[in-house]
Amino acid sequence: MTKQKTLQEAVASIQDGSLLALGGNALHRSPLSFVRELVRQGKKELSVIKTAGALDIDLLALAKSIRSVYAGYIGFEMLGLAQNYRKGVQNEEIIVHEHACASVIAGLRASIYGVPFQPINGFQGSELPELTGLVRNVTCPFTNKETAVVEALRPDITVIHVSIADEKGNAYIDGAAFEDLIMVKAAARVIITAEKIIDSTEWKVTPQVPGFLVETVVLAEKGAAPGSCGSLYSIDEDEVTRYLQDPESYLEKVKGVASHV
């Protein structure tokens, strides 16, 4: 039986208030078609796990779809700050679960190993732990050494965008995998959007995501645009710049266009 659905059907299955993990990193291979459909369907009170977010988080912030963020970094790197996220936090509409990229990953890793927390190195002294309580110290039972630990992060739904998937949910990521493979294993449900969907007898490369972990597959060509997608396409800097200069128009355009997939 095929796991393929339309983008609208897949997004319709997301409850308001869900905890989502979004794959990709900054403007690279983020599931942006999915995010735009979340906005179109007017989802509310979402919480999002992301190592480094950019247009995905900022657009959800602009659309008032987001309640809280677990992330290490939200911004457009050299292109500037994520202004709508920034305003949302400053207006206390968005709760920040203050992380570093590495501690987000550690929390997800705890989930994939089925343990309640994950020890982590490199958080001795930053104010992140003491202010936020997200990184805490325990005494190692073997060495008696103080060790920082991060609580398990278990997304309700992980959404990643890939180059190729098949109808059974097997999926192939071209280039850097970022945290996608960990996010897939950590979540209760997994939705994959793909540039291309092939028949499961047609694989010429080896998929990294096994289909049994995946609930739904969606065809979404240019699904990471205006960000990049591996070797398929680069960042559309003009489009990102247009967003940064006039996010409201971008949002109106997103809402006005019925998705075609």
CA 63 – CA 42 distance, rounded (Å): 8
Q: Is 243 in the site for other proteins (CB under 8 A)?
A: no
Q: Is 75 in the site for other proteins (CB under 8 A)?
A: yes
* H-run or E-run covering 102: helix 101-112
Minimum CB distance to other proteins smaller for 45 or for 93: 93
Minimum CB distance to other proteins smaller for 121 or for 245: 121
The correct pick among 179, 193, 226, 250 for binding other proteins (CB under 8 A) is: 179
CA 6 – CA 21 distance, rounded (Å): 20
Smallest distance, other proteins to C-beta of residue 41, A: 27
Smallest distance, other proteins to C-beta of residue 154, A: 17
Minimum CB distance to other proteins smaller for 30 or for 65: 30
The correct pick among 14, 48, 165, 182 for binding other proteins (CB under 8 A) is: 182
User: Could you tell me which of 2, 17, 19, 27 has the C-alpha nearest to residue 224?
Assistant: 27
CA-to-CA separations, 101 to 92, 136, 210, in angstroms, rounded:
22, 16, 25
Pull the structure tokens for residue 139. 């005494």
CA 215 – CA 229 distance, rounded (Å): 22
Cβ–Cβ under 8 Å, residues 163 and 229: yes
Show the binding pattern over residues 192-221: x = contacts other proteins (CB under 8 A), - = does not. Answer: ------------------------------
Smallest distance, other proteins to C-beta of residue 131, A: 6
Radius of gyration in angstroms for the set of CA atoms belonging to the chain, rounded to a whole number: 18
138: Cβ contacts below 8 Å, ≥ 6 apart: 117, 119, 146, 147, 149
Q: Is 234 in the site for other proteins (CB under 8 A)?
A: yes
Smallest distance, other proteins to C-beta of residue 153, A: 13
Pull the structure tokens for residue 38. 């979340």
Q: Is 64 in the site for other proteins (CB under 8 A)?
A: no
Pull the structure tokens for residue 227. 């960000």
Smallest distance, other proteins to C-beta of residue 60, A: 15
The correct pick among 64, 89, 156, 200 for binding other proteins (CB under 8 A) is: 89
CA 186 – CA 71 distance, rounded (Å): 16
Minimum CB distance to other proteins smaller for 18 or for 25: 25
Looking at residue 215, what DSSP letter applies?
A: S
The correct pick among 37, 56, 58, 98 for binding other proteins (CB under 8 A) is: 98
Site for other proteins in 9-28 (CB under 8 A): 25-28
Residue at 229: amino acid letter: C
Contacting residues toward other proteins, per CB under 8 A = 25-28, 51-52, 71-75, 77-78, 81-82, 85-86, 89-90, 92, 96, 98-102, 105, 109, 120-128, 131, 146, 175-182, 228, 230-231, 234-235, 237
